[in-house]
Structure 1
Amino acid sequence: MKSIEQKVIKFISSHSLLSANDKILVALSGGPDSVFLLHFLKKYQKKFKIELAAFHLNHLIRKSADEEQGFCAKLCKKLSVPFHTEEFDVKSFAVKNKISVEEAGRLIRYVQLNKYAHKFNFNLIATAHNADDNAETVLLNLSKGTGIKGIAGIPVKRENIIRPLLCLRKNEILDYLKKNNIKFVIDESNLSEQYERNFLRMKIIPIIENKINPQFVNSVLTTSINLQSFNTYLNKILSEIEKKYVVETNEEVRIKINLFTEQENFIQTEIIRKALTEKFDFNPSQKDIRKIISLFDKQVGSIETFKQKLKALRERNSITIFSNKSLPEKSILIKVGESKRFDSGRMIISKVNSLDVKLTANKNVEFVDGELTGESFLIRKWKDGDKFHPFGMKGTKKLSDYLNDIKVETKEKRNQYVLISKNRIVWIVGKRLDERFKLRPETKTIYKLKLINE
């Protein structure tokens, strides 16, 4: 058994990466690292008692992309390994989402890997990251500002993803492939210094190794693994603290203001980082964290914007982080007898008789004079300048002032809908009726307005 193979076997064993009957989907690019990984796992398949398959993502970026896809297909056929592949326009995705091509490729690759793993019941995904990749990651994260998780580098194992080759240097892999006459493809983009990782690999790391520490990459790996263990311990502590200060819903994360008065800056930072990473899969830089913390000293309604279409909003008792999805500005037409969905739920307008009128404290149900409204209504978000005549009050009031008076949180205020008839507000949906449309003793036509939160 060759020493490089022994090294990987020992690494797998020491980190408990494989168990008997594991089903593994290998991320196969066709490059030297992933080709080595596939050959290695195939060679020791019986030893580990595992099932193998490979997945290749065609990024549709380079002219050679189709050739690489074909190479991977042939390699898998030769090794008798089931092969899966997908094509995806990574460049267009990157432009649309305003992220780098590198980041877009990473995001799409993991999404597709998990999709195929789930589809074919693979419990593990194996990627071919090596020790040099880890050193690049650590330096990249350090240069941009990051927390402990960032400088801990590439995890040996994260959920269903394993990285058996993190113990190997790139040159060890290349030497092995050359001695065993194993072919692979070269990704020409890896030779361009325009990409950050390539610049670190080709320029910065060699200087550090020549001038400071020849074992720099291996030293970084040892530190990374130690920090990953510490990070696991820290996460347990943070999870307990998080319960007190973080409230998560389907669409947002609310961080209670008292986090910033009761906890040290380090805890504040790590709680925010943990919440963003787990909820939005967004690894914030130190600059991003500072922007969120700065909202504590700003007035209610202040907003900070981040990559991946995220926003952080200062509210009275919290800082709310949410995805910046544009809400529909278009008005929704609804007629008597209809039911229409919109962001706040479902609106139902029905004609009823006087015996059906039951006035309660339920603000999601109102009754109006149909002779004053007509049979057609519009549902839309409120906008600056909107006025209405609040039920039970004299005169009109700006809707913005009314929402402030009843202490509506800023984010909820931005998402407030109104029901319109004949260019006049009939109902601040779920909150207050307009005095002008209330039932009168002489009312003959009655419409019931009902909001169902879904």
Structure 2
Amino acid sequence: MDATNQNTYRFINKIKSYMISCKMVEEGETILAAVSGGADSVCMLLVLDALSKQMRFSLAALHVNHGIREEAGEDAEFVEKLCKKYQIPFYLEQIDVPKIVSESGQTEEEAGRIARYKVLLERAEAIGASHIAVAHHMNDQAETFILNLCRGSGIRGLSGIKPVRDKIIRPLLCAGRNEIEEYLGMCGESFVTDRTNLEDDHTRNRIRHHVLPMLNDMVNSGSNKHIFEAAGMLREIEDYLEEEAREIVLIKKLKADNIDINSLREYKPLLQKYILMEILGTVIPHRINVSRYQIDSLFKMCQSTSGCEKTYFEGGIYAKREYNKLYIGKEKLDLSKEEKTGNPLPEILFKEFEVAEKFEELQQRIPREAYTKWFDYDKILSSPSLRYRKVGDRISIDSDGHGKSLKKYMIDERIPASRRDSIPLLCDGENIMWVIGYRMSSAYQISEETRHILEVSVFF
């Protein structure tokens, strides 16, 4: 066996060992590979094709055209020809990401990712594929680690990309980008280059092009590998703490509607937070949007010595402490459907998230729509509620705290008197946050100090 064949064999065997250790696929199952045509996904497809004979699984490929780049059609043709060459079943899906962005307000990157996984899952179900393979590699893991570290993530974020998550598997996560390119060179296979990956428009690209090369060149040439290993160790720690918390909740019979704070304090602070996370997850389905901010808020409530305390989170979730008891639950917001006007109030959707970008970048993302607004979540003192105007209402109109009566504001805006009683108001207690369809209060606008944002969307 010559040197080239030895190296290709060694690389394929490395991926095989990683797949086996992570229990990615069983004999007789089908893998649907997401293939963009880039070096990473082409390498993954070739390796999976070689391993499908050894490990006895079936393989198919899906290419997703996002409708963003003019050359995307050429990428699809490239992948189709590649699959034909290796006799791999090929599927093509078209999605209109620019349209999704305009309708949802999501970033292009976020909209593309969500839509891409949606069609992957749909196609996998249609063909009976038990797994979806995506081509994340060691460098992607390092980028994710640094990105989450700089955003203030906890252990879960620093544990990075998981090798297996539900149906998603990542066979190349143990391989570096240089290994991938070397393998393709040995195979003599070409690939396409997405020009957007060469730009510095996204934070992840800037980490890829500048931060990681500096770490490898000026700190340690094995930085990517060491970050990958650290993420793996943190993932083991995270799994252990979650399992410990789960057992304690079961043994102590801790329930969201009646938590004995004294029982909670028997454990170390870190474990207390994981117990609270486990309990909160029983109130929020699938632990969607359970944030570090929420867990820290619950933990501080449990450490407090004051008599009673109550706080609200996104989606009507509340936490209430009464002496040595903590209660977590979900209550309907104060959205009565009729008031003196007889007009029904609109539906409302809340979404809370932590600030991750610089203020300048954040400003570009602020919704400009009439019925979606962003508020500084930390300035909201009670559960936001909807109502109509009443005597004495005032609204803050500038950053210095100056205000004017709601009546005067409506006159200045030339809102007809016949409509004033039917304009819904979003309120924080008695304070007006937003005259819906018009302006929001300056008291709740985001600033450079903002750390948590509440997005509110209204539907009539």
Determine which of 327, 344, 355 is the counterpart of 1:318. 327
1:315 is displaced (CA, Å) by: 4.6
Change (3 A) 1:382 1:24: closer
**Match for residue 211 of structure 1?**
218
Q: Does 1:64 align with 2:71?
A: yes
**Match for residue 28 of structure 1?**
35
Determine which of 157, 175, 179 is the counterpart of 1:168. 175
Aligned equivalents of 2:28 and 2:176: distance in 1? 29
1:177 is displaced (CA, Å) by: 1.5
Instruction: State the aligned residue count.
Output: 328
Does structure 1 retain, via aligned residues, the 8 Å contact 2:241–2:271?
no
Determine which of 112, 122, 135 is the counterpart of 2:119. 112
Give secondary structure in 1 for the equivalent of 2:47: helix
CA displacement 1:78-113 (0-9 Å, x = unmatched): 322222232223344445555433233333322322
Aligned equivalents of 1:87 and 1:219: distance in 2? 38
Q: What is the aligned-residue RMSD (CA, Å)?
A: 3.7
Aligned equivalents of 2:333 and 2:201: distance in 1? 32
**Match for residue 44 of structure 1?**
51
Give 1:406-417 correspondences, 5 Å limit: none
Q: Does 1:181 align with 2:188?
A: yes
1:122 is displaced (CA, Å) by: 1.2
Does structure 2 retain, via aligned residues, the 8 Å contact 1:257–1:319?
no
Q: Does 1:124 align with 2:128?
A: no
Does structure 1 retain, via aligned residues, the 8 Å contact 2:241–2:274?
no
Does structure 1 retain, via aligned residues, the 8 Å contact 2:316–2:333?
no
1:169 is displaced (CA, Å) by: 0.7
> Which amino acid in 1 is paired with 2:273?
T
Aligned equivalents of 1:19 and 1:385: distance in 2? 63
- Percent identity at matched positions? 30
Aligned equivalents of 2:41 and 2:334: distance in 1? 40
**Match for residue 18 of structure 2?**
11
Aligned equivalents of 1:218 and 1:194: distance in 2? 26
Aligned equivalents of 2:129 and 2:156: distance in 1? 27
Change (3 A) 1:58 1:245: farther
Aligned equivalents of 2:276 and 2:209: distance in 1? 34
**Match for residue 241 of structure 1?**
248
1:134 is displaced (CA, Å) by: 0.6
Structure 2, unaligned stretches of length 5 or more?
Answer: 340-346, 348-384, 391-428, 430-460
Structure 1, unaligned stretches of length 5 or more?
Answer: 248-253, 332-342, 344-380, 387-413, 415-454
Aligned equivalents of 1:103 and 1:262: distance in 2? 41
Give secondary structure in 2 for the equivalent of 1:53: strand
Give secondary structure in 2 for the equivalent of 1:76: helix
Does structure 2 retain, via aligned residues, the 8 Å contact 1:191–1:198?
yes
CA displacement 1:352-404 (0-9 Å, x = unmatched): xxxxxxxxxxxxxxxxxxxxxxxxxxxxx996799xxxxxxxxxxxxxxxxxx
Aligned equivalents of 1:53 and 1:203: distance in 2? 35
Aligned equivalents of 2:318 and 2:175: distance in 1? 45
Give secondary structure in 2 for the equivalent of 1:168: coil
**Match for residue 296 of structure 2?**
290
Change (3 A) 1:116 1:22: same
Aligned equivalents of 1:29 and 1:326: distance in 2? 48
Change (3 A) 1:239 1:98: farther
Give secondary structure in 1 for the equivalent of 2:128: coil
Does structure 2 retain, via aligned residues, the 8 Å contact 1:144–1:285?
no
Determine which of 255, 266, 270 is the counterpart of 2:270. 266
1:191 is displaced (CA, Å) by: 1.1
> Which amino acid in 2 is paired with 1:303?
Y
CA displacement 1:252-272 (0-9 Å, x = unmatched): xx7958487666542343345
> Which amino acid in 2 is paired with 1:290?
D
**Match for residue 54 of structure 1?**
61
Does structure 2 retain, via aligned residues, the 8 Å contact 1:25–1:53?
yes
Aligned equivalents of 1:95 and 1:288: distance in 2? 30
Does structure 2 retain, via aligned residues, the 8 Å contact 1:24–1:122?
yes
1:36 is displaced (CA, Å) by: 0.8
Aligned equivalents of 1:270 and 1:111: distance in 2? 30
Does structure 2 retain, via aligned residues, the 8 Å contact 1:145–1:287?
no
**Match for residue 303 of structure 1?**
312
Of the two, which has the highest radius of gyration?
1
Change (3 A) 1:120 1:292: farther
**Match for residue 358 of structure 2?**
none
Give 1:329-348 correspondences, 5 Å limit: 329=337
Change (3 A) 1:92 1:267: farther
Determine which of 82, 93, 96 is the counterpart of 2:89. 82
1:234 is displaced (CA, Å) by: 2.3
Give secondary structure in 2 for the equivalent of 1:44: helix
1:200 is displaced (CA, Å) by: 0.9
1:326 is displaced (CA, Å) by: 11
Change (3 A) 1:23 1:220: same
